[in-house]
Amino acid sequence: MATAVVTENFKPQGKGHTKTQSRVQLEGLRDALGTQSLEQLRGMIRTLPGLVKDDDNLRQDVLNAVGQLQAEIETPWDTIQRIFLLNPWYGVSITIGVNMGLFRTLVHSASPLSAREIATKCEADLNFTQRLLRCLNSFNAVKQFDTYGELVFAPTNMTRTFTTPMGEACPPFITEFFHPAWLKFPAKLRGNGYKPPPSGTETVFNDIYNMPGKHVWEILATTPYIADGGVFMSQYNAAHKHWTDVYPVNQRLVEGADKDPNSIFMVDIGGWTGSVAISTCEKFPEAPGKFMVLDLPSAVASASSLPPRVHPCAHDFFKPYPAEVQGARFYFMRYISHDWNQDDLVAILTNIRIAMKPGYSRLLINDWVVPEKNPHPFMCSQDLTMMHLAGGEERSEARFRDAITRAGLQLSNIFRPRDKISESVVECQVAGNESADAGVKGAFNVDSSVADS
């Protein structure tokens, strides 16, 4: 498609190229696009959102191509400015706008508002509001209009994004809780010889909050951001492919499950607000038994209004599991394994293995299985995020196999989504009990998407 042609064929010249050479390059670009003008190119670009909205892989390919094109044509100063001087302020200015109610004010207004009207409604200083609006308008977070000599502001799609539950929870949670640690991470690495934190209780968060010996989630529970964190994670789950779209639940879990209504069907480990257990229960009403949400007391306390078949269980998964959650049909971990280093993950998996019923129970790990070659950029950035906040990692298949085997489990399948960014489902059973695997012999990968099969 046109974007790929631009990326491959429009290469800027070296430092000394002339305007004439630039014009030749521009004409080459036009020729590559079929002699269409730059204005027509802009028109083509405007059509892209509609073309890619229903195809996640195509959308990611276009975004990657745009990023590659930007990196090719920008100057060194453009690159420095974008990464260090512009991008940080996008998140900070949006966080300020969320905190002061600016986006809600614009969305709820029947007509565009002046800076003075916004400042009055938000109880903010006029000069500050004008300068913040100028910044937000520069990257389309709000839209500025000139009406009869007066500048007014109206909402954009981005404005509306930051009035949703996810949009209002994410900015303070990320900017105010996480960002201070990000800024300290380079110095931490420089001081320890560029090694990952030795444990999840020896990170920059321990330094910043002066809470030695505490994991990041224990630290979070002491801050005002715990509620925003719960909303963020539940909405983050909703924005990604549901694990049941990748894994054949009926064939591998519902069939053969204990029909006793008091049996345990699912244990959602580290389930926080219970969003995954609730959605799974709703998707599979025919599944027998109970759905348990297992997490620390501070986390399950926020799991309110649970449906009748979903029950909270306050528990530390580094300790042996209580009888009420032993022998479940399956144990489920989404965004948990990546929180921990290899030794900690082995300890977590070992406790799960002890609670499992050999020949009956399965463990499902719903996380990225990072490709060895050219993983998605978000996977790479999240890997460093997990390293700095908890000493964790986004794992390759080899790293998963190592931890699973050391815990006395056997990796029986990997169910991979067809898109390039959703999480896989790593299926495990107690080692030496192949009857749990419904006749599947050995360990192998399944490139599957249940929705497409």
What is d(CA 15, CA 350) in angstroms, rounded to the nearest whole number?
58
Q: How far apart are CA 266 and CA 28, in angstroms?
A: 59
Tokens of 411: 């990796």
Residue among 215, 311, 315, 338 flagged as catalytic: 338
Q: What Å distances lie between residue 76 and 9, 20, 50, 87, 283, CA to CA?
A: 20, 22, 33, 16, 51
Calculate the dihedral angle through the C-alpha atoms of 427, 430, 433, 434, rounding to the nearest 10 degrees.
Answer: 10
What's the angle, vertex CA 186, arms to CA 184 and CA 190, rounded to 5? 120
Cβ(192)–Cβ(184) below 8 Å:
no
Q: 219 is written with which tokens?
A: 């630290």
Give how far Cα 74 sits from Cα of 20, 71, 82, 184, Å.
18, 6, 10, 28
CA atoms within 13 Å, Cβ hemisphere of 317 = 29
Q: Which two tokens stand for residue 452?
A: 């497409």
Chain-centroid distance of CA 448 in Å reads 21
Tell me the Cα Rg of the chain: 25
Give the pair of three-digit tokens for residue 360.
Answer: 């009956």
CB 325 within 8 Å of CB 305: no
d(CA 324, CA 416): 32
The answer to whether the beta carbons of residues 271 and 280 sit under 8 Å apart is no
Which tokens go with 41?
């190119």
For 101, the token pair is 């109610």
CA separation for the pair 418, 426 (Å, rounded): 15
Of 177, 181, 187, nearest in space to 208 by CA:
181
**Amino acid at residue number 433:** N
Instruction: Name the token pair of 170.
Output: 């994410």
- Considering only CA atoms, which of 276, 285, 270, 290 is closest in space to residue 245? 276
Instruction: Check if 338 is active-site.
Output: yes
If you write DSSP's letter for every residue of 187-226 in order, what string do you get? HHHHHHTS---SSTTSSHHHHHTT-TT--HHHHHTTSTTH
Catalytic residues: 338
